[in-house]
Structure 1
Amino acid sequence: MSPGHPTLASLLGATGYETAMCGKWHCGFLPDFSPTKSGWQEFFGNFAGGVDYFSHVSIDSARPDLYEGGIRVPQIVRWPGVIGQRQVTGVPMVAYDWFPTLLELAGTRPDPAHPTDGVSFAPYLLRGGDVPQRDLFWRMRGQGALRRGDYKYHSALNGGTVVESLFNIADDQREMANLATREPAVLADLKAAWQKVNTGLIPYA
């Protein structure tokens, strides 16, 4: 990632916040790229990127990758005096949603020249606003997935053949019942939405 590209750190830093990063850096190698070249004032972690600090608690550990067992992890939010205690929700939120959420909480916005892929959950978290409605997109080599509401489209390359599935995650978190033949119109809509996003991304080598 170019050091000049806006980041959460650079945008927060411009409003007066002090920033530090703890974790893994995946966005380029030293000496040309580093967290401190991309807005973070301090960095504590690993520059190699590929380090797993935790054992993921999955829904079905035998089915990783873009099934729910490979992408769903618990998330804890704590803000005493602002967010109420002991609340539980099944609303899905992905990592890139935190970018606009934290910027809104800090009183700033993304760089208009670099719109974010995520949406802000600040109204939902703080004021009980409506849950943002949007598609959730994933891809990795040989697999793709898109979730819209309770439905999830999944495709996987298996022995040279693409196998497509449709699941209702609200009723079937373990993704055992493929609804592709029962609800072909939903499958087609979600597949088309996945392909539209995918065509705008850099292809895998």
Structure 2
Amino acid sequence: MNVARRQVLAAGALSLLPGIASAREMGGEKRQPNIVFILADDLGYADLSCFGRRDYVTPYCDRLAAAGARLTHSYANSPVCSATRLGLMTARYQYRLDAGLEEPIGPRDTGLPPDEPTLPSLLRQAGYRTALIGKWHLGNLPNYGPLKSGYDYFWGYRGGGIDYLRHEDARGEGLWENGHEIEEDGYLTRLLGQRATQFVDAQRSSDAPFFLSLHFSAPHWPWETPDDRAEAERLTTDPSYRKLAHFDGGNMATYAEMVRRMDEQVGAVVAAVGALPKDRETIIVFSSDNGGERFSDVWPFTGRKTELLEGGIRVPTIVHWPGVFDGGRVVDTPHMTMDLSAMLAAAGGARFPQDRLPDGRDLRAGGFDELPMFWRYNHLDQKAVRLGRHKYLSIAGNEFLFDVIADPMERANLKARMPELFNDLRTRWERWNAAMLPYRDDTFTHGFRGDELADHFGVE
């Protein structure tokens, strides 16, 4: 980042969130904080300018980072969406649930069980008002849904992806408000931002804290800007849309506009939070559900969504929490999505049942460098564990040991030079995996093929 950019970000940070007071500034008895969790969909590690994107600027996320903290070793629970969302909701490894075996949830009727303790349900028990604006993708009615899993209010869509202008998914479903399908005109990213700001505004006169999940569709395909009505018509009327996944569309300019539009709505929500009464602090978290897709920038990593290479699971995370994560800090603590959930649950005074204790750990605690993080992904039999600076990785039976600090592109295989560490990490993974649910024969798993993406030539 050049000097001019630094000066702009520093100036923006000084005026950001003037209405959000820290606990020190509020004085008196500390109150439960409001919590806003903003989740992008398929956003790559370097897709925000504060994380390195060079061909466009995301000023609102940049200012949030300059006033809060950038978490540079933040990992998604999975390289695909619904699996990570299970980790976010439960603060546990998604592989403990049947729905977590789906990568992502597809045609099989499975989802987040209504009786499973979740971050919103536990916060609601602790006195919070809860809302989900945006993507659900954790199971369909009548068996599953946001209102069954802890949210008081839902406005958004239920599947994995939806058209930004016609608001139709591959099954023909559209937008929902609570339990009813609705119709509304407009570009989806803007609609989600508007609903989120309306929810925040409505809390001004409330004595209760709130938990808002704002789960954007952007920048997930289809690749559309507000001006792409013709493309939206083509996609939603073409019979091949159900399987196309927009492999014949999109470009860098469209992707940049999609991310910029999302960034604008982040700014609108942050401004609404800043206008709240100053007697309660607000924690804001921004992250992504997995690594980047076709037009993403994942530098300095390799890999993408559906892969356990760093580019498929390392995500850009920002936390703004006055007195805790503030001042433009850079936090290099290795952690996963479920650790963010555990931290927010603790901040809100939520309590997990003894038979559903979280795998995630409050980020404010120490010792994360000594805690291993585990992943698996059924496509190509992928396995990974990171401990400290080292990572064991197995893809299609090919095994590696990387130093992801010195070698973020995962090029130098150290398994022959460090056999004891290699064997130790592999053994740790096997022991952990034995405690998870096994994959079933009918489990769905997605991975890009050589006939879909040229840089996957030879991959079946």
Q: Which TM-score band applies after superposition, normalised by the shorter structure?
A: 0.7 to 0.9
Residue 5 of structure 1: how far off its partner (Å): 1.2
Would you say 1:4 and 2:92 are equivalent positions?
Answer: no
Q: Take 2:384 and 2:334, find their aligned partners in 1: how far apart are those partners?
A: 14
- Pick from 347, 352, 361: which aligns with 1:119? 361
Contact 1:22–1:43, Cα closer than 8 Å, also in 2: yes
Residue type at the aligned position of 1:198: N
In structure 2, the partner of 1:152 is 391
Match of 1:177 in 2: 412
In structure 2, which of residues 341, 349, 352 is the aligned counterpart of residue 99 of structure 1?
Answer: 341
Q: SS of the residue aligned with 1:88?
A: strand
Normalised to the residue count of structure 2, the TM-score between the two structures is 0.40
Q: Secondary structure at the match of 1:20?
A: strand
Q: Deviations over 1:106-143 (max 9, x none)?
A: 123222120111111134xxxxxx34331111110120
2:161, 2:385 → 1: CA distance?
25
- Whether the 8 Å CA contact 1:100–1:109 is kept in 2: the answer is no
| 1:173 Cα deviation from its structure 2 partner | 0.6
After superposition, the C-alpha distances for 1:17-72 in whole angstroms (9 at most, x for unaligned) are 00112332232211111010111111232211356522733136763310111111
Q: Please say if 1:198 is aligned against 2:433.
A: yes
1:89 positional shift: 2.0
Which residue matches 1:109? 351
Q: How far apart are 1:82 and its partner, in Å?
A: 4.5
Stretch moving more, 169-178 or 24-33: 24-33
Whether the aligned pair in 2 keeps the contact of 1:105 and 1:122 (CA below 8 Å) is no
CA distance 1:34–1:177, shift in 2 (3 Å): same
- Paired residues for 1:73-84 under 5 Å: 73-84=315-326
Runs (5+) with no aligned partner, structure 2: 1-111, 163-216, 221-291, 441-460
1:16-31 → structure 2 map (5 Å cutoff): 16-31=127-142
Q: 1:3 and 1:192 mapped to 2: Cα distance?
A: 34
1-side partners of 2:371 and 2:125: how far apart?
29
Name the SS of the counterpart of 1:113 in structure 2. Answer: helix
CA contact (8 A) 1:98 1:118 kept: yes
Q: State the distance in 2 between where 1:40 and 1:9 align.
A: 6
Instruction: Using CA pairs under 8 Å that are at least 6 residues apart, name the structure with larger relative contact order, 1 or 2.
Output: 2
Number of residue equivalences:
195
Higher relative helix content? 2
The sequence identity of aligned pairs, in percent, is 38
Return closer, same or farther for 1:122/1:91 CA change in 2, 3 Å cut-off.
Answer: closer
Distance 2:145 2:410 in 1: 39
CA distance in 2, matches of 1:153, 1:186: 9
Aligned-partner Cα distance in 1 for 2:408–2:360: 24
Question: Which of 115, 119, 137 in structure 1 is aligned with 2:374?
Answer: 137
Tell me which stretches of 4 or more aligned residues in structure 1 moved more than 4 Å. none
Match for 1:107: what amino acid? Answer: G
2:134–2:155 contact (8 Å) kept in structure 1: yes
Structure 2 residue 327 is matched with structure 1 residue 85: yes
Partners of 2:341 and 2:127 lie apart in 1 by: 17
Structure 2 counterparts to residues 9-88 of structure 1, below 5 A: 9-50=120-161, 53-54=218-219, 56=292, 57-59=297-299, 63-64=303-304, 65-88=307-330
Compute the RMSD of aligned alpha carbons. Answer: 1.9
| Equivalent residue letter for 1:19 | T
For 2:422, the aligned partner's letter is L
- Secondary structure of the structure 2 residue equivalent to 1:189: helix
Which is greater in Rg? 2
TM-score (norm 1): 0.87
Matching residue's letter, 2:331: T
Indicate conservation of the 8 Å contact 2:130/2:152, yes or no. yes
Contact 2:300/2:408 (8 A) holds in 1? no
2:212 corresponding residue in structure 1: none
